[in-house]
Amino acid sequence: MSQVELARLSLRGEEDVFLARQLGRDGAEGLGMERLDALRVATAISELGREIVVSGDGLLVLAVRATRLVIELRAGQLPEHWADALTAASRLVDGTDGPVGADGGVRITLEKNMPEPPDAATLQAVRDRLLELVPGSPAEELREQNRELLTALEQVRAQRAELVEVNRELEETNHGVLALYNELSEELDRTNQGVVALYAEIEDKNFQLGEASEAKSRFLRSISHELRTPVNSVLGLTGLLLDPRQPERLSAEHTEQVQYIRASAGDLQRLVDELLDLAKAESGRLEAVMAETSLSSLFGELRGVIEPILRPGVTLECEVSAPDVLTTDPDLLRHVLRNLLSNAAKFTAAGRVRLTASAEGDMIELAVSDTGLGISADDLPRIFEEFFQAASPLHAGTRGTGLGLPFAQVVAAALGGRIEVTSTVGEGSCFSLRLPLAGVPAAPGSAPGSAGAADA
């Protein structure tokens, strides 16, 4: 980048050093530098110029390059105390270069940043001003330096006072920050104590909930066993009364009443079985025992159980498009599929119920779909809740406890899968159970899970 020369001055005596100082100060001010920066430039020139004059003759060149004032000082030989003067001068400017060899002597370059690059008119005005500069006497220059020094000292004193005030304000701020920190620390401690107390309360509630759940499971197991005996007795006695081989036949009216009693006892037995299965699942005693299971054989068994309960005109379709042998707990899988199929049979008035098996990688999907009444979007998220039953004309006319699907979901989890459902009102529903073909690891010493009937 080119530079524009402003002034050139030979340095032969002490008066030349004073004039060089004036050139640097007035040139810097003309280029828009602040007074203090102009004094720094003048002082740097004075320090180096004095050393050059002591060792012989020299030259000062002032120039501008972009946004920097460039000061070149040349000497015929390297002054004896050049290093000390250069160290002092380098603290006053923004860059130094040298000393380097130049024209049989040495050259040092100083640079000082300007606020902005000067235009051509400013450069010409500064050049004219420096050319017209009249050197003053040493006494006048010394007086000027003293005034400059006093001005600088006054500025330093003002800056020191300002720094003291800033330090005082900073100390007050630090006190405020420290007080705020202490307040926040105390608040955080109180919050932590509250959190610890809340966690303790939550743990206590969890313990109480665990005890309540265990008590509920014990109650369900106990009441189920207590109810099973009288229910079986009622079923046995009503079976005897309805046996056509009995010598004394009941009248038609009495037969109908006994059939009502037997049907109610059957409903009660299914409820007892569901409660027992649910208690077993919630207590964690439901464990899967893995074995190779033939899907075609299982589907055949389910067909024989479900077809008799289908409504007139409803057909059952079974299709296996997957490997026939699956590693799973056959009793638990039979329980889940029978539950889903019986629900589909109950709530399908016309069309078909379909049971399919398809494989995808190392997983198998068992799906039960129907063309029944479907499940509304409001009821769909709740169908796996205990004792929940959707509201519809078919639901109202069909007996159930609302425990079948929740228990089926628990059984599905024990088999390593999960039941998912999609449904459209008026078009039907599809319940899908995805299981690993290889099954989940069996627990040591586990027993087959219950396969009691369960209805949603």
Transcribe 91-159 into DSSP letters. TTSSEEEEEEEETTEEEEEEEEE-SS---HHHHHHHHHHHHTPPP--HHHHHHHHHHHHHHHHHHHHHH
Amino acid at 387: F
For residues 351-371, one letter each, b for 16 or more C-beta atoms within 10 angstroms of the residue's C-beta and e for the rest, the string is: ebbbbbbeeeeeebbbbbbbb
* Torsion angle defined by CA atoms of residues 214, 216, 220 and 222, in that order, rounded to the nearest 10 degrees: 70
Write the CA distances from 423 to 367, 368, 373, 394, integer angstroms.
13, 12, 9, 16
Q: What DSSP character marks residue 311?
A: P
Token output for 267:
């409903």
Which pLDDT belongs to residue 38?
Answer: 87
Element (H, E) at 40: helix 35-55
Tell me the torsion sign for CA atoms 385, 386, 390, 391: negative
**Which residues in 192-256 belong to E strands, given as ranges?**
none
Nearest to 266 by CA among 238, 290, 297: 238
Which pLDDT belongs to residue 136?
Answer: 55
Kindly list the domain boundaries of the chain, sorted by start residue. 4-136, 163-284, 291-436
Tell me the torsion sign for CA atoms 405, 406, 412, 416: positive
Within this chain, domains 163-284 and 291-436 share the same CATH topology: no
**Cα–Cα–Cα angle for 317, 323, 329, rounded to 5 degrees:** 85
Nearest to 104 by CA among 80, 76, 79, 84: 76
Q: Can the peptide bond before residue 99 be classed as cis, meaning omega within 30 degrees of 0?
A: yes
Name the 3-class secondary structure at 166: helix
Consecutive 10-residue averages of pLDDT for the chain (456 residues): 84 85 87 86 86 84 89 80 81 84 77 88 87 65 64 76 85 85 87 88 86 73 72 79 74 80 76 69 71 90 87 91 87 88 89 92 91 86 75 54 77 88 90 85 41 37
Which pLDDT belongs to residue 147?
Answer: 67
Radius of gyration (Cα) for the chain, nearest Å?
Answer: 51
Which pLDDT belongs to residue 455?
Answer: 39
Which pLDDT belongs to residue 448?
Answer: 38
Please identify which residue in the block is written with the tokens 């999960």: 418
333: which residues sit within 8 A by CB, 6+ positions away? 293, 298, 326, 366, 415, 435
Which pLDDT belongs to residue 315?
Answer: 92
Report the residue count for the chain.
456
Which pLDDT belongs to residue 453?
Answer: 36
Which pLDDT belongs to residue 370?
Answer: 93
Q: Phi first, then psi: what are they for 344, rounded to 5°?
A: -60, -40
Largest CA distance in the chain: 156
Top-level class of domain 163-284: mainly alpha
Token output for 297:
């054989």
* Residues in a beta bridge with 68: 65, 113
* Annotation: CATH topology of 4-136: Heat Shock Protein 90 (3.30.565)
Which pLDDT belongs to residue 401?
Answer: 57
Check if the beta carbon of residue 131 is closer than 8 Å to that of residue 122. no
The span from the first CA to the last CA of the chain, in angstroms, equals 90
Please identify which residue in the block is written with the tokens 């042998």: 325
Which pLDDT belongs to residue 450?
Answer: 38
* Residues in a beta bridge with 267: none
* Annotation: CATH topology of 291-436: Heat Shock Protein 90 (3.30.565)
Which pLDDT belongs to residue 318?
Answer: 92
Write the CA distances from 133 to 19, 126, 129, integer angstroms.
9, 11, 6
Rounded distance between C-alpha atoms, residue 166 and residue 48, angstroms: 37
Token output for 29:
């001010």
